[in-house]
Amino acid sequence: MGTNPSDMTKNIKTENSSVSVSNKEQNQEESTNVVKFVDTKSSEQKQLIPSADSVIQELDHRSNISGNKSPSLGASRRERPTTKNTALDYEFDASDTENTDEEHKTTTTINESEHASSSFVTNVLSNTKHELLNTFKIMKVASDIHDTLFIEDLEDSISPLLRALAIRQKYMHHSFQSYSPTIENFLAKILEEDNRYQRTSLNVNLHKREESDPSTATPIKVENPFSKPLLPPMDACVRVEKGIYHVYILNEQKQWIPSKYKSITMEEFIEDYTLISKMIVDGPLQSFCHRRLQYLKTKHDLHTLLNEVKEWSEVKSASHRDFYNVRKVDTHIHAVASMHQKSLLNFMKKKMQIASDMKVYKKPDGTMLTLKQVFDELNININEIDVDLLGVHADRNTFQRFDRFNANYNPAGKAMLREIFMKSKNHIDGIFYAELLKEVIANLEASKYQHAEFRMSIQGRSKDEWNQLAKWFLANKMHSTNVSYMIQVPRIFTAHRAGGKLKNFEELLTNLFQPLFDATINPESYPDLFRFMHYFTGFDSVDDESKPESSILTCHTVDPNQWNTNENPPYAYYLFYMYANILVLNQLRRSRGLNIYQFRPHCGEAGDVSHLATAYILAENISHGLVLRESSVLQYLYYLCQIGIAMSPLSNNSLFLSYNQNPFLEYFQRGLCVSLSTDDPLQFHFTKVNIS
């Protein structure tokens, strides 16, 4: 990048502060840097945040996109914008320039390098060795705040970014999911200005949480689920209207009236979704966000150079704490693949020794087979099989082949063995599956410092799935202090519809949510499900994102009761209707003092970047997020809102992206809220200690 001569007169201040600066504080400071310009100008602007219509019109004017057309989501896959040699090249952050008498600062001018060197040496020699070893070095870049007035991209980018932050705040507050406290405080300041027109034009009512309002899901209880008392039934009922459940209550005249629970309509979501989609392809906004991300990466590198030795010495000084005895939580792991391949093979061999005569499988003609007869019919000698013949580990043949990846769940390539050993619904009521998972749980409990959040599947084929899973969970006592559970819903409506199990998409939604509402309203009718609902934390949406989507979500998209073709709904369609019903369910459960749920789908592993725009609006956290590297705008929004991303580099290496290209480290250096997870240890790992 070329050097602007005017920049050579800027002052660089090096400050030795006695207060340690944590990464969290740096992230919070950076989260609000983008809007410091707004604070300075607030007294001069009549309308700080324009309306959604104004923002959309401005974006349409820049990109020549007609407001009546749905955005071209494929266009969002363009390359990252190259840095332009304009005034934007010389933009940098304005920092607080206030000095106090107590702070020791050395101000140097770059074009007076000799004076800077002597001043630095003088100050270093004046400090004791002890002081140098116990301070962090902070580099601040100072400039005149009014310089930013001439940066066109900055001024054009403020309004869309603020609107996007307010959109996510609305969806998170309605569903009682968490939202970044830094952005929360900033938006509260903006929305509570004296300018009433400004607040109305934003079209977002600031949701003020009461002290009793939970910002996240209620912590999972660890007591025995059988000890949970059943609540009495409440005078309420639910009805499905356009795929979304609505709660009705009895008034004094014994009439059913709609409750005051908040809800989001499809039309409202499409309006917000359209705005975010247009922001993704906006040129000036892309340039601004790309530069901000580059700045964050450089800031991390500079902090590392200045403070790495000090931070490492502090890590060593923490007694009884190292990598092996700090608590680690695997927030993205599928229960069916939570064990490694050797554990599965040993379990199968053990069962052949002690339960070979146990009847475990019922053939379509009604014939019952023992475990030994099953292996004989499959022509498998369990004593000769090894992990290579077991064939459950992913290899290079699964890269870009999600179909082969799913086939690896079948031990030795036999679906019969998967049904016997790895399913909760079978002829033996999932006993083997429960025992196999208990071995994994026992290893977690023995390690003391490892925890996991297993994902269990609900297909949505029938309402009985919930009750069957709850009975299996309670009968086998699957609760543990080291484990919690999530419910994953595969996006395979097409398969169920083709098999004649579902008539339309609304029937799938009914099978998913009707039992949950019934168990919440009248726990005595579903006692097992009511107790089980205390032990899962949220919902996930899973499937192959690389599948092409033939339809785009628009205001003309049909309602779920009219979606009766074999075509699979788009990703955004699935996520919206799951979110909309979780929103109502959370409000109902909170009114009864029960735990509430998060929405944390698989997103951004492959497919279009528009999936990440949908999750930005609706989801508290996501899993994977690889495609986020293709959109500077969304990546910067995910950074500002500190949206959690559970990443699985080993899983990605076998499916979609080689290990050395994985963006995990880059996300971490830029300050995104990322964590490491295992995904499927059965297919990607070799040891019992998967998370380390």
Active site residues: 624
Alpha helices in 527-631 (DSSP H): 527-532, 571-591, 610-618
In sequence order, the β-bridge partners of residue 245 are: 240
Q: Which of 574, 584, 661, 675 is nearest to 615 (CA)?
A: 574
> Which amino acid makes up residue 73?
L
Question: What is the distance between the alpha carbons of residues 175 and 565, in angstroms, rounded to a whole number?
Answer: 31
**Spatial separation of the C-alpha atoms in residues 165 and 176, rounded to whole Å:** 16
In one-letter notation, the amino acid at residue 352 is M
* C-alpha span between 417 and 430 (Å, rounded): 12
**Helical spans, DSSP H, in 328-414:** 341-354, 371-377, 387-390, 402-407
User: What is the rounded distance in angstroms from the CA atom of residue 600 to the CA atom of residue 597?
Assistant: 10
Phi/psi for 8 (5° steps) reads: -70, -10
Nearest-angstrom CA–CA distance, 604 and 578 = 18
Q: How many CB atoms lie within 10 A of CB 276?
A: 23
C-alpha closest to that of 11 among 145, 147, 140: 140
The residue among 587, 590, 668 whose CA lies nearest residue 635 is 668
Phi/psi of residue 452, each to 5°?
A: -145, 155
Task: Please report, for residues 32, 189, 616, 656, the alpha-carbon distance to residue 203 in angstroms, rounded to integers and kept in the order given.
Answer: 22, 16, 19, 40
CB atoms under 10 Å from CB of 620, counted, come to 22
Radius of gyration from C-alpha coordinates of the chain: 28
What does the chain come to in residues? 692
Give the CA distances from residue 589 to residues 14, 259, 479, 594, 669, in Å, rounded to whole numbers and listed in that order.
Answer: 53, 13, 21, 5, 39
Closest CA to 157 of 298, 291, 272, 3: 291
Helix (H) or strand (E) holding 391, with range, is: none
CA distance 47 to 61: 20
Note whether 461 and 501 are within 8 A (CB): yes
% helix, strand, coil for the chain, step of 5 = 50, 15, 40
Closest CA to 374 of 392, 389, 354, 359: 359
Residue among 599, 573, 425, 595 nearest 509 (CA): 573
